[in-house]
Structure 1
Amino acid sequence: MKPWAWHTINSPAPVPGHDPILEASSWVRRFTNLIPKGGAILDLACGSGRHAHFFAQSAYKVLAVDRDIAAIEDAPHPLIEVRSLDLETTEWPLLNQQFSAIVVTNYLYRPHLDQLPAMLMDGGILIYETFAEGNGAFGKPSNPNFLLNTGELLALAARHHLKVIAYEDIYQEQPKPAMIQRLCAVKGRLK
């Protein structure tokens, strides 16, 4: 597999009222120090780019992908490449790319879930956090297609021989009541 190619932009633009450190998930922040320095990170289904900006602020190169990239395009950064991709097509749009880390929050599309471990370089980190079974009791998402089943992230790690560093399947009160499943796993050994 080919490593991810990087393209740079000239200069960062400050984002008024935007603090990536505060906006980034505490789960993502917790494991950032495990990501190999100098590697590229995939922010899958990046939304507004809170994690892409968090990692760029820490001098990581980031590929931020989502179907709608309007929110992240409004805040360019030289270490962030933004791509508009439909992540739910039959063919996986990120074939033959590799990353030092893949970060996914608040997103689940099972048909391509097993693509993620193959995209990690040796020593690469998968950080995943999204809604879990039972979340419908607290609001949206409530559709089972968008909720992880009990132990689903652990099963993903086991299928692909990822070493689990941390895992939670919990009820959280803040920022809003929700059922959340989280995983941090490494492919091979930590570098």
Structure 2
Amino acid sequence: MPPSMPSAAPPMMTADPSAWVVRWAHAVPAGGRVLDVACGRGRHARYFAALGHPVTAIDRDAAALAELPAMARAICADIESGGWPLDATAQFDAVLVTNYLFRPLLPRLIDCVAPGGVLLYETFAQGNERFGRPANPDFLLHPGELLAAVDGKLRVIAYEDGRLEAPRQACVQRICAVNSASADACCYELRP
């Protein structure tokens, strides 16, 4: 299996959380547990911790994890070759992934979404190669790939597949999907 996109690649990152994540943060149940996968320096872990969510952040870069505030539980693990570092039954009220793709992990991430919980996923898609890195097809989602990954498992609240102009030009897919297995699942407010 190919390795993940190196953390040194020029991602869509800024110090601020992704606009997609901010837009859908209200879908995360109040005080709900958040899992930030391949968190890097933790811009989203910080954001959700500031909103009062207990956060578990996973990354293979120990130096990046060391920058996280004490309010986040940091787990240093290579989730591609070292295995999943959490209990197989662990579930979270939000599972968050940005700028990262390791296809074999997609089913595990979906299984981590607790009833009533939400999956927030945003990463690069085919077409991004014309704007720079990542250009390797192993790191670019195929058209509709996120939709297919959640089909029959999570309810899609929002999905986009297209080109961003800022913070830099990039082709991305992003999804907000909920585990509506709970009888308490409700409609989510759609915000611009």
* TM-score (norm. length: structure 1): 0.84
What is the match of residue 110 of structure 1?
Answer: 103
What is the match of residue 6 of structure 2?
Answer: none
Aligned equivalents of 2:45 and 2:115: distance in 1?
22
1:90 to partner: Cα distance: 6.5
Instruction: Work out whether 1:68 is the aligned partner of 2:54.
Output: no
Does the CA contact (< 8 Å) of 2:46 and 2:69 recur in 1? no
What is the match of residue 3 of structure 1?
Answer: none
What is the match of residue 144 of structure 1?
Answer: 137
SS at match of 2:151: helix
Does the CA contact (< 8 Å) of 1:105 and 1:129 recur in 2? yes
**Selected match of 1:186 from 151, 158, 178:** 178
1:127 to partner: Cα distance: 0.2
**Selected match of 2:155 from 163, 175, 181:** 163
Give the residue type in structure 1 aligned to 2:158: A
1:134 to partner: Cα distance: 1.0
Q: How does 1:20-59 map to 2 (within 5 A)?
A: 23-59=16-52
Does the CA contact (< 8 Å) of 1:56 and 1:77 recur in 2? no
The ranges of structure 1 where at least 4 consecutive aligned residues each deviate by more than 6 angstroms after the TM superposition are none
Aligned equivalents of 1:99 and 1:120: distance in 2?
5
* Structure 1 unmatched runs, 5+: 1-21
Instruction: Work out whether 1:174 is the aligned partner of 2:166.
Output: yes
| 1:78-132 alpha-carbon deviations (Å, 9 max, x no partner) | 2x10010111027433322110000000000001111111111100100000000
Aligned equivalents of 2:122 and 2:133: distance in 1?
15
* Structure 2 unmatched runs, 5+: 1-14, 188-192
* TM-score (norm. length: structure 2): 0.83
Which deviates further from its counterpart, 123-132 or 83-92?
83-92
Give the residue type in structure 2 aligned to 1:166: A
